[in-house]
Amino acid sequence: MADSIDVLATLKLVYTIYALAVISIIAYFGYRITQKGEVKPTKKIIFWLYVATLIFIGTGMHFLTYNVVPWVPMDLNRDHINAEKTFDITYRAHTIIPNETPMKVPCGKYVVFDAHSDDLTYGFGIFRQNNTMVAQMQVVPGSRNDLMWIFHKNGTYNVRSTEYSGPKGSQMILQDAIVVTGCKEDDVYAMKGGE
């Protein structure tokens, strides 16, 4: 099952290749237009093929992630999924207050992190011990803020606010707030002291 580390590593690779390709294309184009030579007539079919490619990439990416990234169908179909456990988390005066410390998550079961803000707009982000992000959502006052998630690896995760809520909110971190147990595999970036 793919997690954020896999998806982001793929993004880094694909985007780097893309960036190097377009830099090379523009550099080559810049060189070519300064050179003498025949100007070939531009066929309209090339333009329309190019537009079709843009449409294919622009919309196709979303179909790809729907089928490859596990949390997309879960997000869109969550009304039909029953959670094994729900954690209530309150945000008040730049403090994150969970109803359980740490939040113990069973492996491979759907859980919901249900956050409420009593004052400002905050964020709820789950992070590994090496600071990489597992997932996040916004926490808007007066609004529903519930993130459904499923963990497939053991680990201890930190929670921090991912949205700016003024200078007082810059260090809203709950260390070791989520502990996942019962999996066959460990999340190597989320293990505390070789646990």
Partner 1 sequence: MSFINRLIEGHEGGLKTETMTPMQKIAMRFVVIGLLYYGLAALEGMIMRVYEVKPLPFIDESHFFSIMTVHPMVGIFGSSYMIVFGAFLFLTPYLMNKPIYSLKLANLSWITIAGGTLIMWTAGFLFSYAPLYTLYWPLPADMSQFRAIGGIVYIVGVVGIMIGTFAYTYNIFKTIVYTPKGWEKQPSMALMKSALGITGLTNFFKRKQEAHLVPLPIAAISRGTIDVGLNAVVISTAGVLILIYLVGNGLFGMDLKDTWVDALLYKNIFWWGLDLVADGLVLVFVAGTWYLLAMLISGKDLFMQNIARAALFLEMVVSWTVWSHHLMSDQGQSNFLKVFSGEMVTAFELITQGIAVYITLVTLYRAKPLKMTNELKFLLGGILGFMLAVPAGIIQADLGMNRILHNTQWIIGNHVHVAILVGLTMTLYSAIYVLFPILTNGVKLYSQKLANIHFWLHLIGGIGMGAFMGMAGIDGMLRRTIYYNGEYNTYMILAGICGLMIFVAFLLFLYNIVMSIGIKGLIGVYQPAKINTNECLCEETKKEEA
Alpha-carbon separation of residue 34 from 29, 40, 73, 103 (angstroms): 9, 15, 50, 63
Closest CB 35 distance from partner 1, rounded Å? 6
Residue 8: name the closest of 172, 158, 189 by CA. 189
Q: How many helices (H) and strands (E) does the chain have?
A: 3, 9
Among 100, 102, 150, 162, binds partner 1 (CB under 8 A): 162
Closest CB 87 distance from partner 1, rounded Å? 14
Based on the shown chain and the rule CB under 8 A, indicate whether residue 19 belongs to the binding site for partner 1. yes
CA distance 39 to 194: 65
Based on the shown chain and the rule CB under 8 A, indicate whether residue 28 belongs to the binding site for partner 1. no
Based on the shown chain and the rule CB under 8 A, indicate whether residue 175 belongs to the binding site for partner 1. no
Strands (E), 140-172: 146-150, 155-160
CA distance 87 to 105: 10
Among 105, 111, 146, 153, binds partner 1 (CB under 8 A): 146
Structural contact between residues 124 and 147, judged by C-beta atoms closer than 8 angstroms: yes
Among 82, 131, 184, 194, binds partner 1 (CB under 8 A): 131
Based on the shown chain and the rule CB under 8 A, indicate whether residue 107 belongs to the binding site for partner 1. no
CA distance 62 to 84: 28
Q: What are phi and psi of 5, to 5 degrees?
A: -60, -45
Applying CB under 8 A, the span of 81-89, 98-106, 114-122, 180-188 interacting with partner 1 comes to 114-122
Based on the shown chain and the rule CB under 8 A, indicate whether residue 34 belongs to the binding site for partner 1. yes
Among 103, 120, 150, 180, binds partner 1 (CB under 8 A): 120
Residues recorded for the chain: 195
Applying CB under 8 A, the span of 12-20, 84-92, 100-108, 179-187 interacting with partner 1 comes to 12-20
- Of 73-102, binders to partner 1 (CB under 8 A) are 75-76, 93
Based on the shown chain and the rule CB under 8 A, indicate whether residue 129 belongs to the binding site for partner 1. no
